[in-house]
């Protein structure tokens, strides 16, 4: 069954609803220009009340050591399961972290999809190209990915209730990532859309 990551979590209510509806991972954004940016201390407060079995994902682009230094790895449990990098990080930069590494690639054309091969990351998150390093909120031709190994692929970019099942059936990715497709406004989730999206993803066969 495909994994579902809900990105751009900024508050406890959205976090708990995502878990209730079956999300496998939550994404916290520490990139200051983003409207979904969350302070490390706020993320810590949310994580402190989440089930210990939940797989959590942090997605800092900058100040990684500072973010992790806010006690987010304290308490005898690993609050963060992985780090997600959205910038122009080199293979050398992505090596050697104690946490899992998800490297985001902005897919602009067929050739850019081929950059994944051999890159040292545990998972590849594929998003549509857009200026800057935030989520694009738009799709790209999924046909560009046909033939690639999808065992480590997390598909993102404009996914919503209407297209997530088609994407999963075509590519069979390890996981899907959603943010804007389940929002009421930037940083705040629409719980109805959130529930429908997770159900649609989990039942895609």
Total tally of structural domains belonging to the chain: 1
Q: What is the pLDDT of residues 97-113, one digit of tens each?
A: 888 899 988 898 888 88
Q: What is the pLDDT of residues 2-56, one digit of tens each?
A: 999 999 999 999 999 999 999 999 998 888 888 899 988 888 888 888 876 676 6
With 0-12 CB in 10 A as exposed, 13-18 as middle and 19+ as buried, what is 90? exposed
The answer on pLDDT for 76 being more than 60 is no
Alpha helices in 25-144 (DSSP H): 40-48, 64-68, 91-94, 110-113
CATH number at residue 103: 3.20.20.70
DSSP 70-94: TSTT-TTS-S--EEEE-S---HHHH
Integer distance in angstroms from the first to the last C-alpha of the chain? 9
Domain range for 84 = 3-202
| Catalytic residue list | 7, 127
């Amino acid at each position: 069954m495909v994994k579902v990551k809900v990105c751009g979590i900024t508050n406890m209510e959205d976090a708990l609803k995502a878990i209730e509806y079956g999300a496998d991972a939550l994404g916290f954004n520490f990139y200051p220009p983003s409207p979904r940016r969350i302070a490390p201390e706020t993320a810590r407060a949310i994580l402190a009340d989440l089930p210990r079995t939940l797989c959590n994902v942090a997605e800092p682009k900058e100040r990684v050591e500072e973010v992790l230094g806010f006690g987010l790895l304290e308490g005898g449990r690993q609050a963060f399961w992985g780090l997600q990098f959205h910038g122009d990080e080199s293979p050398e930069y992505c090596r050697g972290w104690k946490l899992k590494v998800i490297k985001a690639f902005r897919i602009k054309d067929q050739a850019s999809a081929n950059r994944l091969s051999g890159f040292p990351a545990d998972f590849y998150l594929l998003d549509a190209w857009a200026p800057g390093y935030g989520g694009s909120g738009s799709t790209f031709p999924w046909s560009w990915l046909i033939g690639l190994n999808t065992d480590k692929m997390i598909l993102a970019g404009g996914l919503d209730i209407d297209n997530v099942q088609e994407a999963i059936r075509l590519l069979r990715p390890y996981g899907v990532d959603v943010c804007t497709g389940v929002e009421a406004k930037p940083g705040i989730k629409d719980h109805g859309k959130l529930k429908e999206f997770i159900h649609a993803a989990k039942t895609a066969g």
